[in-house]
Chains A and B, each alone.
Chain A
């Protein structure tokens, strides 16, 4: 299957993520870039889209440190005594996406600055037979 034929689904987005690639869909007609990927351009309405690889570079737009998480994060050992950071990253290509945030201190969220430069860094969560990729971005040194 050539890249052009790969459907614009969350599943395929995840398959790219597993290979370490952060992909988005771009409207061939109006050139707008969409992440989460879209099969129909919300701006001009065409179905003429293509996959593009993003640079993976971005900055922090909004964030939180979660102390009471969903069950699957609790199962990974997070919780009241071990919060984790998640937020919204604005990519240099324009789109924004929700992602885990690494390389910053979840215990001191008030020290974190909106606008902090971030870089794509997929991580894997789960046990041996049930590993799934989790989109994450990491702050530079």
Chain B
């Protein structure tokens, strides 16, 4: 289906972005994490900023209902950051919730209704035991036709991986390279849940075994470790534990303003020059099981609006809920031809110093995946990288154009945004 070339009626800029620490926080609730993210975001605004100027609050959240027993979450978040009685809305599109919240915030400004909008995302997942987290996430699948036959979220992406490997000759080892790369990046991100390289993780395991007086495991190298059924158990063949993003608590926040007032907030605003969103059928109903149609359409819409192509993008945060998802994303976004994405991490193309760095934050894989907060979490990294403020993991080449790709469920929702730093 061809995408109509759409434009925003009014330009929107990103002038602040921040996230809480991602991890497991039994002593906190999602509102505490949102306060933390909001404070970090406020501090990221370069010039003096009065939060009371915020007119509208748009919060992405998948399931505070099931995870925390709390519905009607948006006004609670607005209250927690001192923004009552401003209008507040919750957006739910599974793991794309806050990417879509970002888009809703953009539309709020583009419509002319608002000038200053707070967008964010929250998810508190670790209060439930793992089996109930699995069941809660499964609710993002089709509960009439997919879940009753035993599909899980790792299972869906594993099935895509089976089709991909069969069609293009990729192997589980190619996927492991994505995990190695993203953990290398996450190790430089102080906000990451698993901010540790896989070799460092192996070392930790050895030390812990030694401390407990247990036999010290021996691995020849990272690949040996990643093939060890005990250290890296199978979750849903061909995906093992280290192919999967973790269960995470976290929040993220970003400040959007109309282009014409952006310089009141910072001399380095990022213009949001492209926004695209599309939906798709459940996995079984798609013509191609090795690609996500909604991602292709969302990307096409965003590229057309921005007037750029995949070749122009200098870094991307893509939705790597599973290693195979990063591979498929990199093809759907047009960075690589279909079937050519699976070995780009190993070839060094998508590493931090490669030609197209992907997931410099560590991605959902290492940074963590608090599902409803992940979309804005990606924006935090783009905000840092395009403004030269990503510290140790700053990519070279003074990047000006970045892309964020956020997927809901198996791809029934996808939302893509393109950000540009003006000279």
Contact = CB atoms under 8 A, between A and B. Distances in A.
A126 to B, nearest CB: 11
Contacts of B151: 66, 86, 98
A64 B158 contact: yes
Given A65-B236, A80-B233, A114-B163, A70 B283 contact: no
Interface in B227-268: 233-239
Contacts of B154: 64, 66, 68
B150 interface: yes
Contacts of B285: 36, 95-96
Contact of A71 (B134, B159, B239): B134
A10 B284 CA distance: 16
A16 B25 CA distance: 47
B132 A71 contact: yes
Contacts of B239: 64
B235 A67 contact: yes
A62 B235 contact: no
A34 to B, nearest CB: 8
B353 interface: no
A71 B146 CA distance: 15
A87 B166 CA distance: 14
Contacts of B283: 62, 88, 98
B1 interface: no
B135 interface: yes
B155 interface: yes
- Interface of chain B, main secondary structure: helix
Nearest to B166: A114
B144 interface: yes
A73 interface: yes
A134 interface: yes
A138 interface: no
B2 interface: no
Nearest to B129: A71
A68 B149 contact: no
Given A73-B150, A88-B284, A109-B237, A64 B144 contact: no
Interface in A89-141: 95-100, 109-110, 113-114, 132, 134-136
B159 A87 contact: yes
Considering residues A67, A96, A109, A135, which has the most beta carbons from chain B within 10 angstroms of its beta carbon? A67
A74 interface: yes
A95 B284 CA distance: 8
B8 interface: no
A121 B138 CA distance: 24
A98 B145 contact: yes
Contacts of A40: none
Contact of A36 (B134, B144, B166, B238): B144
Contacts of B144: 10, 36
A61 interface: yes
Contacts of A51: none
A77 B41 CA distance: 47
Contacts of B161: 64
B84 interface: no
B166 A66 contact: no
A97 B166 CA distance: 19
A64 B236 contact: yes
A114 B134 CA distance: 27
A63 B236 contact: no
B401 to A, nearest CB: 35
Given A65-B237, A67-B233, A98 B163 contact: no
A98 B284 contact: yes
B360 interface: no
Contacts of A87: 159, 162
Given A62-B289, A68-B235, A83-B234, 16 more contacts: A10-B144, A36-B144, A62-B283, A64-B239, A66-B236, A68-B134, A69-B134, A69-B150, A70-B147, A70-B152, A71-B135, A83-B237, A87-B159, A88-B289, A109-B237, A135-B148
For the complex of A and B, 6 pairs with smallest distance between CB atoms:
A64-B158, A62-B159, A10-B144, A109-B237, A65-B237, A114-B166
24 contacts: A10-B144, A10-B145, A36-B144, A65-B234, A66-B155, A68-B130, A69-B134, A70-B138, A70-B147, A71-B132, A73-B150, A80-B233, A83-B237, A86-B155, A88-B284, A88-B289, A96-B285, A98-B146, A98-B151, A109-B238, A110-B237, A114-B162, A134-B149, A136-B149
